[in-house]
Chains A and B, each alone.
Chain A
Amino acid sequence: GAVVSQHPSWVICKSGTSVKIECRSLDFQATTMFWYRQFPKQSLMLMATSNEGSKATYEQGVEKDKFLINHASLTLSTLTVTSAHPEDSSFYICSAEAGGGSNYGYTFGSGTRLTVV
């Protein structure tokens, strides 16, 4: 149980275009999902917290107008990187908590490798 599906697993886009990444909880409802970014040889950095039905909460230094988050249902959160540039190339990972006393802690998606050319 407690599976989080993330798509796409990798994407290459041209500079200036937008890219949408989907994060779905497959067998549980997730009121809250989290988005992380990981640069090569670095640890995961929390970008934002996605709350179903309300605005996302962004960490300091993360541009909310550039990284648009939508959490329209209890099983889906999306991250859109707008006007992507090469410096946005990174590994993006989402996570969710199964909650309800789950023994699975926080479950993570498999990640999305974004390359902006």
Chain B
Amino acid sequence: DAKTTQPPSMDCAEGRAANLPCNHSTISGNEYVYWYRQIHSQGPQYIIHGLKNNETNEMASLIITEDRKSSTLILPHATLRDTAVYYCIASSGYALNFGKGTSLLVTP
């Protein structure tokens, strides 16, 4: 699986959009981009995934650049409950290998 690079931490004000970047410059054509988050002492929660088209669901939007070398997860209106570690993973569909992720702190 391609390696992904994320900033170690980010802050976001409650009610504002949180934009979490991810670099995956060596991603191959059959690898999807997955986003998960982990709230302290819980199992990871699926957020969204995509191959090359932008995706949106009830939780978030995923913007993938045309060359697929990077992506951005957007939480449109962050709440305090969105404080968590967010993981961006490139995978061709087998086991997911987690990096260090981005620790997002949403502040009042």
Q: Mark A22-56, 1 if CB is under 8 A from B, else 0.
A: 00000000000010100000011110010000000
| Residue in A34, A44, A95, A107 whose Cβ sees the most chain B Cβ within 10 Å | A44
Query: What's the tally of chain B residues with a CB closer than 8 Å to chain A?
Result: 20
Q: Mark B78-108, 1 if CB is under 8 A from A, else 0.
A: 0000000001000000111111110000000
| Residue in B95, B98, B99, B101 whose Cβ sees the most chain A Cβ within 10 Å | B95
CB within 8 Å of A: which of B20-71?
34, 36, 38, 41-46, 49, 57
| Residue in A43, A95, A103, A105 whose Cβ sees the most chain B Cβ within 10 Å | A105
Size band of the A side of the interface? 20 to 34
Query: In angstroms, how far is the closest chain B Cβ from the Cβ of A72?
Result: 20
The residue in chain B whose Cβ has the minimal distance to the Cβ of A91 is: B41
Q: Are A111 and B42 in contact (CB under 8 A)?
A: yes
Residues of A within 8 A of B57 (CB): 103
Residues of A within 8 A of B101 (CB): 43
Complex CA gap A93/B42 in Å reads 9
Q: Are B44 and A44 in contact (CB under 8 A)?
A: yes
| Residue in B45, B87, B96, B100 whose Cβ sees the most chain A Cβ within 10 Å | B96
Residues of A within 8 A of B44 (CB): 44, 93, 95, 108
Complex CA gap A41/B100 in Å reads 9
Given A34-B95, A95-B96, answer yes or no on A105-B34 (Cβ-Cβ < 8 Å). Answer: yes
Residues of A within 8 A of B42 (CB): 110-111
Complex CA gap A6/B41 in Å reads 13
Decide yes or no whether A113 CB sits under 8 A from chain B. Answer: yes
Complex CA gap A100/B34 in Å reads 17
Could you write out 8 A-B pairs with CB less than 8 Å apart? A34-B96, A36-B98, A43-B87, A44-B44, A45-B98, A46-B95, A108-B36, A113-B41
User: Taking beta carbons and an 8 Å cutoff, which residues of A are in contact with B?
Assistant: 4, 6, 34, 36, 43-46, 49, 91, 93, 95, 103-111, 113
